[in-house]
Amino acid sequence: MSLSLGNPVPDFTATATGDTTVTLSELKGQQVVIYFYPKASTPGCTTEGGDFRDRKDAFDAANTVIIGVSRDGIRAQENFKAKQAFNFELISDKDEAVCKLFDVIKLKKLYGKEHLGIERSTFLIDSEGKLAREWRGVKVKGHVEEVLEAAQALHAG
């Protein structure tokens, strides 16, 4: 199943930090930013999460919920969230169900060895639950500002 712009994103439920469960359909009426990152507590992922944290008030003003996702276990996600003072929840997707739904597991190379990992990607879902924008192969610098601008424009109608 592949996602396409303007179409509904299939519902999912996943375990998240803060002893919570995220169910996409329960967020209807709000815009949702779901961003996928390779690994908790690594430099790029820490920077990206910090950029979202620092702009959360602006996302809130645009009626937009932020959710981070990686394959890290819930304890690693809780530690990452606490250490970085993230003000949004992180999904632990060890079984890759959410990653597969958004097709973010890609063949990557590290030190000449190939492995499957998360391609840094972000998705903006409108208040009706439809995919409004997607960013794949994201470079961290300036990315969150671009996502925020898109969320604000979508919210403004």
Catalytic residue among 45, 66, 69, 150: 45
Q: How far apart are CA 13 and CA 65, in angstroms?
A: 15
Provide DSSP, 99-132. Answer: HHHTT-EEEEEETTEEEEEEPPEEEEE-TTSBEE
Q: How far apart are the C-alpha atoms of 59 and 148, rounded to whole Å?
A: 6
Instruction: Give yes or no: 45 in active site.
Output: yes
Place of tokens 């840094």: 120
**Catalytic residues, which ones?**
45
